[in-house]
Structure 1
Amino acid sequence: MAQLCFVTRRGDPVLVQPIHPTPRELKRLSDLDDQESLRFYRSVIYFYRRSQQPRGDDPATIIRGALAAALVYYYPMAGRLVELPADRKLLVDCTGEGVSFVEADADVALDDFGGDTLCPPVPCAAELLCLPERSSAAVVNRPLLYVQVTRLTCGGFVLGVQVCHSLVDAPGIKQFLIAVGELARGMEAPSVRPVWARELLDARDQPLANYHHPEYDLVADDDDDKLLRVRVPGGAAEEEVVLVHRAFRFGAKELRLLREQLPPAMRRSRCTTRFLLLSAFVWRCRTAALGYEPGEQVRFMFVMNARGRVRRPLPEGFYGNALVFGVAETTAGELCSGSLGSAVQLIAAAKARIAREDDYAQSVADALVLRGRPRIALPPTTYLVTDITKWNLHEVDLGWGMPVYGGPATTTLATFHMPAPGGGITVPMSLPQRAMDRFAANVQKAVVDGESAIRSRI
């Protein structure tokens, strides 16, 4: 597909306020919410086809009205963040000022984006979102939600949403958007009522981090960031690296062939999930492709959700941040020369350390307060992954049916495990061109090795 290029015609931003009066109060964010790493706007984007049923309703008008209705229930989102001067604690001032809303038009059709093959980074995402994509941003005293509805020439439209991550995580914004969709389709109230309950993920009165949290450990700066810049031979100058983007789909066949390369017991175990298998495989391929020195420490970092704990459950309707980070570490040499099974075990052990402790999220909150709300440590050798295969971010029906695509707009320096059309998992990857070529070759070689492993046992 040729490179897509278009310019949207945007109207002036307006503030959409709750349609009914809402409480004026201060609401504390949790100590998981207001960590430094979440002080930015996370984007999600939805592509919808023209409705199969004749309707003259303008999607921008419908969505704007549904937003106003949803903000009655989610009224903190219509407020503004304030920061306490003593400890930088964030609170929501529920002012009811509203969220930013923009109508736009673009001379482009949905199929021009790739249709069912859409994947982050979405082409021309900057034209479909209100704000530039950044990993950090000022979040105090400004709207907490930015929404753009872009009408397409085919009769379809794009919903671009950017929400302050300090207020919600991915399940939280999905819950809000489902409520918007329900109200847009004529329901009188959301099927799931929002619950604040941020105190459940606050640090204790006497903070005590029960566990080690390497994701917040200070790390030394590394000038040789192979992902963003490279040293020029013979000098101290650096050249910026241009990243290329490619999506890799791992269907049932590819996942089966990868599993065949594990030891028999691990191959048969239900504990060897698709997440563990694919994470270990991609981590090894990516590390080898980037050419780290054998002795360099490399990290695999992943997101886990604290919802669903047996002894410390969060209530249905909770839409705050309930995410924690797991970390697996080793050297590049040990990772690349070792077996796929060894890499699986490293990640499985990191995941188990979190999963078996019902108070792990509480310990994270304690550590954040004790350390002064630091950012997560992301040395250049870190591979950060969020598995969204079970979050069903795409399940947002605004009255036009389910979207062709619903999920992240960009990948930045992290990536995702995403549900692939027709089954399987899609992994978007951003790498320098040479590294991308090596990575693709490693993926193809693994398929061949898996087929060889099967033949050798027949």
Structure 2
Amino acid sequence: MVDAYGIMQFVNAITEFVKGACAPSISPVWQREQHFNARSPLRITCTHNEYEQIPQNKSSSDNVDSGKMIRTTIFFSPQDIQALRNHMSSLGNFGRCSRFDLIAAYLWKCRTIALNPADPNEVVRLSAVTNARGKPGLNIPTGYYGNGFTSPVALSVARIMCTSPLSYAIQLIQNANAQQSEEYIKSVADLLVLNHSVGNQEEADLKMP
């Protein structure tokens, strides 16, 4: 079982063999049992909102006529991203953030405003796949090709998301991603064994009215 990073590692290795290499430049490493296996005894030591069951009768999209919902692709040019950064800088108190954090926060905030939840105290969430490779303290070896990701969740009350500056959403996303530690990953593994892959791993509904 591999993730996207592992698949690309495999494809690159095949490419190197085709070009005449005797061995891949990055040797494949498994060692899943050292990094991602569940512990004995099992113990949940972290909060895992990504696997929390969401009540089916409570959703911000219920406030929108489904006939007006559309699926679309949004492209952000370098100029668009710079415009967002300039906007954030003009508000002050804006630290460093990745392009992903910036765009994800922007879409999350805009989606929440557009859906206009009937209950302003509804909790809205954003989940994104985060690669554990290269994270301090995890010591995942170069060449590891198995699943090496988690899906931390950022949470906010809808009315606070709608009325707060974009930096608020960015900080929530950064805080969620910062949870990814060795203990967090071990806790995820234990939870999945205990609950047999429970969760809200359904397709994210990012349709806009």
| TM-score normalised per structure 2 | 0.83
Asked if structure 1 preserves the Cα contact closer than 8 Å seen for 2:60 and 2:122, the reply is no
Deviation at 1:176, TM superposition (A): 0.8
Deviation at 1:181, TM superposition (A): 1.6
SS at 1:298's partner residue?
strand
Instruction: State the superposition RMSD in angstroms.
Output: 2.7
SS at 2:182's partner residue?
coil
Distance 1:331 1:311 in 2: 32
Q: Which of 129, 134, 144 is matched with 1:318 structurally?
A: 144
User: Equivalent residue for 1:26?
Assistant: none
Asked which structure has the greater RCO (Cα within 8 Å, sep 6+), the reply is 2
Matched, 1:190 2:24: yes
Matched, 1:292 2:143: no
Deviation at 1:223, TM superposition (A): 6.7
User: Equivalent residue for 2:105?
Assistant: 280
Q: Which of 325, 333, 346 is matched with 2:172 structurally?
A: 346
Q: Which one-letter code corresponds to 1:183 in the other structure?
A: F
Quick one: structure 1 residues 295 and 225, their matched pair in 2 at CA, closer, same or farther if it must change by over 3 Å?
closer
| TM-score normalised per structure 1 | 0.41
Distance 1:169 1:203 in 2: 18
Q: Which of 259, 272, 283 is matched with 2:85 structurally?
A: 259
Distance 1:297 1:309 in 2: 29
User: Equivalent residue for 1:205?
Assistant: 40
Distance 1:373 1:193 in 2: 31
Asked if structure 2 preserves the Cα contact closer than 8 Å seen for 1:194 and 1:319, the reply is yes
User: Equivalent residue for 2:200?
Assistant: 377
Superposed CA deviations along residues 100-159 of structure 1, whole A, max 9, x for unmatched, are xxxxxxxxxxxxxxxxxxxxxxxxxxxxxxxxxxxxxxxxxxxxxxxxxxxxxxxxxxxx
Deviation at 1:349, TM superposition (A): 1.9
Q: Which one-letter code corresponds to 1:244 in the other structure?
A: R
Quick one: structure 1 residues 309 and 256, their matched pair in 2 at CA, closer, same or farther if it must change by over 3 Å?
closer
Quick one: structure 1 residues 199 and 300, their matched pair in 2 at CA, closer, same or farther if it must change by over 3 Å?
same
Quick one: structure 1 residues 241 and 378, their matched pair in 2 at CA, closer, same or farther if it must change by over 3 Å?
farther
Give runs of ≥4 in structure 1 deviating > 6 Å: 239-242
Point out the more displaced range, 179-188 or 211-220. 179-188
Superposed CA deviations along residues 141-196 of structure 1, whole A, max 9, x for unmatched, are xxxxxxxxxxxxxxxxxxxxxxxxxx111110110111122223333332222222
Q: How does 1:48-447 map to 2 (within 5 A)?
A: 167-200=1-34, 201-222=36-57, 226=61, 243-251=70-78, 253-262=79-88, 263-266=91-94, 269-270=95-96, 272-293=97-118, 294-354=120-180, 357-374=181-198, 376-378=199-201, 413-414=203-204, 431=207, 435=209
Q: Which has a greater percent of strand? A: 1
Quick one: structure 1 residues 373 and 331, their matched pair in 2 at CA, closer, same or farther if it must change by over 3 Å?
same
Superposed CA deviations along residues 248-286 of structure 1, whole A, max 9, x for unmatched, are 2231x32232223334232xx33x332322221111112
Q: Which of 1 and 2 has greater Rg? A: 1
Q: How much identity, in percent, do the aligned residues show?
A: 35
Asked if structure 2 preserves the Cα contact closer than 8 Å seen for 1:312 and 1:359, the reply is no
Quick one: structure 1 residues 221 and 378, their matched pair in 2 at CA, closer, same or farther if it must change by over 3 Å?
farther
SS at 1:342's partner residue?
helix
Distance 2:18 2:69 in 1: 42
Distance 1:310 1:347 in 2: 18
User: Equivalent residue for 1:126?
Assistant: none
Q: Which has a greater percent of helix? A: 2
SS at 1:377's partner residue?
coil
